[in-house]
Chain A
Amino acid sequence: MKMSLPVMTVRLKNVLEYYDGPILMTVVDSVDTIYICQLIDRATEFDEFFCVPVSQSSLELFYLGRIDLRDIFIKPEKRYFSLVKVVNYEEPMDFESIAEEDIASEWYPDIGFKLTAYPKLTAYSAQLGALKSM
């Protein structure tokens, strides 16, 4: 009997960059693995992001401007690539793994994308926090 795999979902952790909407964000899965995700498409029904897992320590280095975003995507600590489709940033997001050979080389960020300031909670994250505390 063929069994269908459950759809994996993730939740928004933080929006790191915003331009007419989130363009770089972190999400977490049910066991608190963090993924960093960059926007690759804004479709009518959803936003699509390309994601890789990232450890808290590497994320800290990225926040401090010591790691380039390209390095995080080109040399992820775990070679597990995924696509996330976001219909609503406040709801669980569909998370789908993608084979490395199916990744378009253009999706990788160019060299030189670093954060210049330690991230603050963004409006999205703050709103989510408020929702969770209700």
Chain B
Amino acid sequence: MKNFRILCYTLLMEWAEDLPAGCPPEDAFAPSGGVFYRAVFTFPPTERDFYSQRKLRPDRQCGNECEARALSMFSTLDGCRRLKKLYFFKNHLIVSFTLGTQSGLIRESPSQIGEAHCDWWLAAQFNPISLCTEAGRVS
């Protein structure tokens, strides 16, 4: 049943970026009002803060094209704050936003430093920028 729902979603949804066949994966689901956190370059964030690595760097080769078109985010603030311990993220800001069913599909993909990492495939009609609030400077 879940797979059927995702199939319907995948067929009906227009994505912000072209996705390969079978993407998003079967274990992705529509968020229902949860709060998520993402590291961005500026506040308010720009559209570029919500571009995937594939869109930012179209010629780069990636191990997984579906993941290359997903955005990373965390379901907890602490999960996102842990990034600040690494040089690359020291000047990033953290924004929070609430995602409803029209925002796209997400997949829980816990990483080693936190159990809260998610992948997000953004719907074309959904603009997260106006929903963002600043959740804390990463440095």
B63 touches A106 (CB 8 A): no
Residue B72 at the A interface, CB < 8 A? yes
Count contacts between A and B, CB distance < 8 Å: 90
Q: In which size bucket is the chain A interface?
A: 35 or more
**Given known contacts A40-B87, A40-B88, is B111 in contact with A90 (CB within 8 Å)?**
no
A67 within 8 A of partner (CB): no
Q: Which residues of B contact A (CB under 8 A)?
A: 39, 52-53, 57, 59-64, 67-68, 71-72, 82-90, 109-115, 117
Chain A interface residues toward B at CB < 8 A: 16-21, 23-24, 38-42, 44-45, 50, 69-70, 87-91, 104, 106-117, 119, 123-124, 127-128
21 examples of A-B residue contacts, CB within 8 angstroms: A17-B111, A18-B72, A19-B72, A19-B89, A21-B53, A38-B87, A39-B87, A42-B57, A45-B60, A88-B60, A91-B61, A106-B90, A107-B87, A108-B87, A109-B87, A111-B85, A113-B82, A113-B113, A115-B113, A116-B115, A127-B64
Name 17 extra pairs, CB < 8 A, besides A19-B117, A20-B71, A117-B110: A17-B111, A17-B113, A18-B72, A38-B86, A39-B88, A42-B53, A104-B87, A107-B87, A110-B84, A113-B85, A113-B86, A113-B113, A116-B113, A116-B115, A117-B115, A123-B64, A124-B64
